[in-house]
Amino acid sequence: MASRGYKMSKELARYAGRPAQADSDFLVSAQMVIETLDECVRSSGDPDFMFAFALWLDLKAFGPVTLLWEQCPDLKHGGIVGDRFIQTVNAAVSNSCELFEDEAHLVHDVIPSCRKRADQFLLGECVFVVRLMRMVMGESWSPLRVEIGFPYLGNPRLLESFFRCPITFNAERFVIIQARSELEQPLNGSDPALRLFFENYLERKLATLSLRLEWQIERIVAANLEDGRATLDNVAGLLGMSGRTLQRRLAASGSSFTKMLNSVRRRVALAYLEENPDRRITDLGYRLGYSDISTVSRFLSTNFDAKGRDLRLRLKRETGAA
């Protein structure tokens, strides 16, 4: 901000001047990172600021995660590695890869509690990920399509010249779409010994991070809602423990998996409706991982009080239910 001549807002001034502490395990709140980037765009008045920032970022700036990603034999393995260790960089990130006949959709998101001001962060992540892809696939690589989940107010030609593919603005999600066959295309220069070294290092780092268990659960649940894998046993397995152990740890903090699952669903629903109040309620049901209309109706009735009645009526009109 300062180098581009923009005046710091009061909100940004709270963060300015903090010691970098690059040689330590100094942790910054993931929510603070997301809100700071959003505030940079707001206070600068420059809608292209985040795009310029994402281009300026050093690809190696995220240390072992990027270095490990470089050593993966193919992009499929890189996606597994990224999902496993991304929380050592930012605990709020929640990404997934959805496979279709000949396409792979890389969906970028954050946990629901950070979603409200995350548009700029997610735009930057899409730009940064494409830069990473070109680092291993070659500078000529481009996605098939890109979807940007908000009405971009900057110069769309800047994004078009960077992505070099069709872009849908104000989409429902932030998605990079590539050919599915590229996931298993061998990458040149991968080193198995270096890959093992960085994996071991990040496993140790992951084990020592003092991330709140609730944040980790929220992140995993949010990423697995749609495909029905946000179950106790699956989430516990991804956290490296049994379902019984996870329940016991949550009970010790006065919570339960059922409460957390419902809390994430409610936050996802609120974010969905805040972004566009006229969205279809049936689509919300799929987003929450429900396949049965009556279950969606009960969820709305239980979690939205008086407003739930209007949402249920809309659901009935959409589905033709009696």
pLDDT band at 16 (very low <50, low <70, confident <90, very high): low
131-174 confidence digits (pLDDT tens)? 999 988 999 999 999 999 999 999 999 999 999 999 999 998 99
CA distances from 142 to 146, 161, 165, 177, 207 (A): 10, 11, 7, 10, 36
Asked whether residue 181 carries a pLDDT value surpassing 60, the answer given is: yes
Go through the domains of the chain in sequence order and give each one's CATH number: 26-184 (no CATH), 212-319 (1.10.10.60)
Task: Tokens for 217, please give them.
Answer: 């659960």
Residue 311, pLDDT score: 74
For residue 214, give every residue at least 6 positions away whose Cβ sits within 8 Å of its Cβ, in sequence order, or none.
253, 255, 260
Q: Are 111 and 219 in contact (CB under 8 A)?
A: yes
Task: Tokens for 178, please give them.
Answer: 């590539």
Roughly how many angstroms between the first and final C-alpha of the chain, as a whole number? 56
User: What mean pLDDT is reported for the chain?
Assistant: 84
Question: In whole angstroms, what is the distance from residue 311 CA to residue 302 CA?
Answer: 12
Decide: pTM greater than 0.85. Answer: no
pLDDT band at 180 (very low <50, low <70, confident <90, very high): very high
Could you give the percent of the chain with pLDDT greater than 90?
33
Q: Are 97 and 106 in contact (CB under 8 A)?
A: yes
pLDDT band at 20 (very low <50, low <70, confident <90, very high): very low
Question: In whole angstroms, what is the distance from residue 282 CA to residue 299 CA?
Answer: 12
- Greatest mean pLDDT range, 110-114, 120-124, 210-214: 120-124
Could you give the percent of the chain with pLDDT greater than 70?
91
Burial of residue 125 (CB within 10 Å: 0-12, 13-18, 19+) is buried
